[in-house]
Amino acid sequence: MEIFTVKPTDLSGEITAPPSKSFAHRILICAYLSGRRVKINNIGSSDDVLVTLNALKTMGASVELNCDSVILKKGKIPTDKVIIDCGESGSSLRFLMPIACALGVNCEFVGKGKLLSRPIDKLKQALTLNGAIIDGFSVSGKLSKGKYIIDGSISSQYITGLLLALTAIDGESEIEILGAPVSAPYIDITLSVLTEFGASVYRTDKGFIVKGGYDTKITEFTVEGDWSGASFFLSAGAIGGRVKVNGLNLNSVQGDRKIVEILKSFGAKIKEENNSVCVEKSKLSAIKIDMDSVPDLCQIVSVVSAFASGNTQILGVERLKIKESDRIKAIIDMLSVSGIIAEYKDNEIIIHGGEPTGGNFDGGKDHRTVMSSTVLATYSKGNSKITGAEFYTKSYPEFVRDYKVLGGELNVNIQG
């Protein structure tokens, strides 16, 4: 177990955003399904992305790793039953299960932490109605073209998994989405990557039409910077100091690009130019905002709220209960350590801004809780400790390095 010891300071300077794991997952999978030899730059080393890469190797892909790039090509699909380890990556499981079904891979999915208890039954149901045989997390059979009906109210990852998988099936298939899809920007990322790879996907009034096969013309891709990872340090700049994050696509389809709009609403001073965003210390005031489409920003936005005058209302938080941890509880517990009152009721968290104090935070086996707690501790009065801090590598392995580049005073102690 790792423990962060954090001393209060203002963060200042500039860093480069980490690679977007949302894009990396999808580019790796599309590269595999295209059948071409594809080079992917700026792949990064987050735990979740490495899980997907290793899973594709298990499914027969040849992989060449070169510094921060990977060359990948689909190989022979294994005939014997294989084990596909998805670690703690919900994206990997929900994307790769439909793909295994589409390709006829006989396999069993395993995972760690809460992964196998997170919702996936509606996705399994859509797959079994179209030819897959699924027993628990053991998969066999093979999907056929046809109509796939999926509940869109639980996770956008179900829809992404189907979009990716149906490009691997000969012929034309239809996805009908029941209800308004949650976290819709993540579906936009999927469509962006599929389009770049030459896949044929069309929107309909109820969902999508997907034609099997790729017409890939480009065989080298670069993963763009991650707005979700950047949000921690951009938020830090709004609370104290001056932070510039480079390597961001200012026109990205990533939903978490909304962090700029959110920080402006709090009153932050922000300058955007040449694929960079600079945020300076500002007087922050409470806001009311619906976060349903960008749930991954909720924890760091709650930290900003703790330093804003007044009571911030964060709406659309119900699905935070089924993430890597119960993130509603995690937010309330994290803020209470620093003396900030937060309340949850009726799909809403209310945070009473004030003057946070340092304390002993629990990372809760959740990468976003660890990083959010670190930012909170940085600007709180008094020293702090964050236990179980090692989970930040799930999405942002360069977090500690970048924190120190910005002048943060953080020591890492390993116990056990």
Torsion angle (degrees, nearest 10) of CA 212, 216, 220, 222: -50
Question: How big is the CA angle at 377 (ends 374 and 383), to the nearest 5 degrees?
Answer: 125
Residue with tokens 């936009």: 188
Tokens of 285: 């005031």
Give the count of beta carbons closer than 10 Å to the beta carbon of residue 269.
15
Q: How far apart are CA 97 and CA 137, in angstroms?
A: 9
Give the count of beta carbons closer than 10 Å to the beta carbon of residue 381.
12
> Which residues are CB-contacts of 295 (< 8 A; sequence separation ≥ 6)?
183, 316, 317, 319, 320, 323, 327
Among 296, 362, 366, 402, the one annotated catalytic: 296
Active site (annotated) includes residue 296: yes
Task: List % helix, strand, coil for the chain (3-state, nearest 5).
Answer: 35, 30, 35
Q: How far apart are CA 356 and CA 338, in angstroms?
A: 5
Q: Is 140 exposed, middle or buried (0-12, 13-18, 19+ CB in 10 A)?
A: middle
Q: Encode 281-327 in three state secondary structure.
A: CCCCECCEEECCCCHHHHHHHHHHHHCCECEEEEECCHHHHHCCCCH
Edge-to-edge strands, sheet with 207-211: 147-151, 172-178, 207-211, 200-203
For residue 28, which amino acid is it?
L
Tokens of 63: 């992989």
Angle between helices 156-166 and 121-128 in degrees, nearest 10: 30
> Which residues are CB-contacts of 222 (< 8 A; sequence separation ≥ 6)?
40, 41, 42
CB 386 within 8 A of CB 6: yes
Would you please indicate which residues are annotated as catalytic (active-site) residues? Answer: 296
